Amino acid sequence: MPDPDRDPFLDGRDSVSKARDSFMEERDPFLEDCDPSLQERDPFLEDVLQGGGGQARIERSVHDGVHALVVMGELDISNVGELRDGAAQIPDVAPGVVVDLSDATFIDSATVGFLFELRKRLERRGQALQIVSPPGTAAERVLAMTSFDAGVRGEPDLDSAVAAVRRSVQLQR
């Protein structure tokens, strides 16, 4: 039976590290008999596996008790762990969380998966989630394509999203 207190966001990080380490240490045996030029490593893939894929900056702040994670730049599988780490530090007593993707220039499926899991985790804890993804942004297009709940991503800016979290908490009481 799954442990309800275990945080699924933190699972799997060791397997990613193991895969990265394995990739960095071993040559592919299938390439040994191939043309030597095919044995070269893909520099982009090496960069991603070493944590240099997307370039994102994540800033944490607190507004009237509501915790905010503001993302700037490209958020993908190589650095979504930074967002996961920021979310893991939010206390259970916080009314909720705002993830501001206004300045995110790219998000991938790892980011979307994390946001779905974050929403479930916060609901279980009685906390609200708001995602800022204004119309026309990369994040808004991806979240709309994945049918991410429009009710948690309808606010145009950080201040409005914080107010929405506060209203949501008041309605629950």
**Following DSSP, what letter does each residue of 55-76 receive, concatenated?**
-EEEEEEEETTEEEEEEEEEE-
pLDDT at residue 150, rounded to an integer: 86
Q: Domain of residue 19: give its range.
A: 8-49
pLDDT at residue 20, rounded to an integer: 47
Torsion of CA 161, 80, 10, 158, to 10 degrees: -10
Model pTM score: 0.69
User: What percentage of the chain has pLDDT greater than the value 90?
Assistant: 61
Tell me the C-alpha to C-alpha distance, in Å, between residue 93 and each of 52, 120, 121, 123, 127: 34, 16, 14, 13, 8
One domain, residues 37 and 117 = no
The stretch 65-86 carries a mean pLDDT of: 94
In-domain check, residue 1: no
One domain, residues 109 and 69 = yes
One domain, residues 23 and 97 = no
Nearest to 130 by CA among 85, 95, 172: 95
One domain, residues 95 and 138 = yes
Nearest to 158 by CA among 102, 88, 106: 102
CB 144 within 8 A of CB 76: no
User: CA 32, CA 36: separation in Å to the nearest integer?
Assistant: 8
In-domain check, residue 136: yes
Q: How many domains does the chain have?
A: 2
In-domain check, residue 2: no
One domain, residues 42 and 71 = no
One domain, residues 76 and 122 = yes
